[in-house]
Amino acid sequence: MGQARALHLAAQGLLARPRRRARRPDLLAAIARMQLLQIDTIHVVARSPYLVLFSRVGGYRARWLEELLAEREIFEVWAHEACFAPMSDYLLHRNGLPQRAHHWAIRSAQRHRQSSGAKIDRLLGHIRELGAVKSSDFEREAGSAGGGWWGWKDEKRWLEAGFALGELMVARRDNFHRVYDLAERVAGVAVPGWDSTPIEAATVRRDTILKSVRALGIAQARWIADYYRLRPRLRDADLAELVEAGDLLRVEVKGWESPGYVHRDHADSLALAAGGRLRATHSTLLSPFDPVVWDRERASELFGFDYTLECYTPEPKRRYGYFVLPILVRGRLVGRLDAKAHRAHGEFEVRALYLEEGVVADESLAADIARAIDDCARWHETPAVRLTRCRPAAFAKPLKAALAALA
């Protein structure tokens, strides 16, 4: 099982600590490795896409992500959820839109298209004539409230509908706010044949399955569909043809009742894993929206880690906290911490840190976790770390000592 975890982390770029200072191309490579980089706007620590990249490449300049988007090296799309994806996958996503028609965002967009089609067309005409827009370019009616799709002003809903259905794209982000433009002016510049290159539905499904397995490193059949929100959930029989063709390798994993599947591109890593030679050495904090913990069932099976996102849970019902970061230490998810970056006065507050049951809370673990916290805090320019409480409480002493040694 440990080698299966290591193979998964290797595919995700989380097996070893970065060997050098990050460069901008490393961000694109990390996104391509994951296939999808989920977007979320909560920034108690850092907005999720930035934190996911930090966990893999180390400290980098946040503006690089916006530059990749503005320069058409990546684009935004509804896939697992709202995600960044490599522009090289644009045609696959565009042709795959019908296969994600069940996605809540696509369904909502289709309802708005049906009920407000003429108004959306007028908005598209406005953009065609006057150029890219932000939702803030349109005034909100007095007394209207913000929130989800249901609380947005009409123009925001229409822009999001056009984006979800592929009529609009995000040309860039200004202070992380979407700037929408016509797909013909975004993809049309970057992707030859952007609107005239059909890909058959069977090919889209096949390629999407293969990309999912490649990103996961190793996967049971039932984990694969969730990565791109495919339906229905896959069974072993659904993968037989890909195994026969040599695109996927079927393997047995000790402790698993079902076989695992590995993309042929990971054959060398699989050989190392089969010999027990994949070594996980990286320790870092993960985003709540990291692909490693997207799927609760997968995280439980691979890591013995039961992770539930609580930022959308009412406070009295939270068990761990609002924005809780899983702690990865040398191939294991050993705990989680509730953190907040106070940028104004350079403090990284660890409100609570919880170790998993059975984890040995020794000085070695304290050193690894302290380094992970310190790395993240310094990247945020909040180098002063304040630890409020630990579970077990006795772990606070070695952890504080390890943090003090890094200060």
Q: Determine the pLDDT at residue 153.
A: 82
Q: Which residue has the tokens 């507050």?
A: 349
Q: Is 52 a domain residue?
A: no
The Cα 366–Cα 325 span in angstroms is: 16
Do 126 and 173 share a structural domain? yes
Among candidate residues 274, 297, 327, the one where a domain is terminated:
274
In the DSSP assignment, the letter for residue 133 is B
Among candidate residues 217, 252, 274, the one where a domain is terminated:
274
Do 394 and 288 share a structural domain? yes
Q: Is 7 a domain residue?
A: no
Do 388 and 303 share a structural domain? yes
Q: Is 4 a domain residue?
A: no
Q: Which residues contact 24 (CB under 8 A, 6 or more apart)?
A: 60, 61, 64, 67, 68
Domain around 124: 72-190
Q: Where are the alpha helices (DSSP H) in 116-251?
A: 117-130, 154-164, 183-190, 201-216, 221-228, 240-244
Among candidate residues 159, 190, 221, the one where a domain is terminated:
190
Of 162, 78, 166, which is closest to residue 126 (Cα–Cα)? 162
The Cα 65–Cα 87 span in angstroms is: 13
Do 82 and 156 share a structural domain? yes
CATH, residue 235: 1.10.10
Angle subtended at Cα 242 by Cα 257 and Cα 191, rounded to the nearest 5 degrees: 125
Neighbours of 172 (CB within 10 A): 17
> What is the pTM for the complete model shown?
0.94
pLDDT per position as a tens digit, 197-211: 999 999 999 999 999
Q: Which residues contact 37 (CB under 8 A, 6 or more apart)?
A: 30, 31, 49, 52, 53, 74, 83, 84, 85
Backbone angles phi, psi at 115, to 5 degrees: -85, -25
Do 181 and 99 share a structural domain? yes
pLDDT per position as a tens digit, 125-172: 999 999 999 988 886 654 444 444 445 588 999 999 999 999 999 999
Q: Determine the pLDDT at residue 142.
A: 47
Q: Is 36 a domain residue?
A: no
Q: Determine the pLDDT at residue 322.
A: 85
Do 299 and 388 share a structural domain? yes
Do 160 and 98 share a structural domain? yes
Q: Is 3 a domain residue?
A: no
* Cα 142 to the center of its chain, rounded Å: 36
Q: Is 257 a domain residue?
A: yes
Q: Determine the pLDDT at residue 313.
A: 85
Q: Determine the pLDDT at residue 140.
A: 60
CB-based burial label for 65 (10 Å; 0-12, 13-18, 19+): buried
CATH, residue 324: 3.40.630
Q: Determine the pLDDT at residue 295.
A: 94
Bridge-based pairing of strands 283-285 and 324-329 is antiparallel
Q: Which residue has the tokens 């490693």?
A: 292
Q: How many domains does the chain have?
A: 3
Residue ranges, the chain, pLDDT below 50: 142-150
For 337-362, b where at least 16 C-beta lie within 10 A, e where not — what string?
Answer: bbbbbeeeeebbbbbbbbbbeebebe
Do 212 and 165 share a structural domain? no
**Is the separation of the CB atoms in 51 and 44 below 8 Å?**
no
Q: Give yes or no for a cis peptide into 392 (omega within 30° of 0).
A: yes
Backbone angles phi, psi at 164, to 5 degrees: -60, -35
Do 172 and 117 share a structural domain? yes
Do 339 and 264 share a structural domain? no
Q: Is 330 a domain residue?
A: yes
Q: Is 48 a domain residue?
A: no
Do 148 and 226 share a structural domain? no
> 49 vs 27, 335, 348, 374, CA distance in Å?
11, 21, 19, 19
Do 354 and 298 share a structural domain? yes
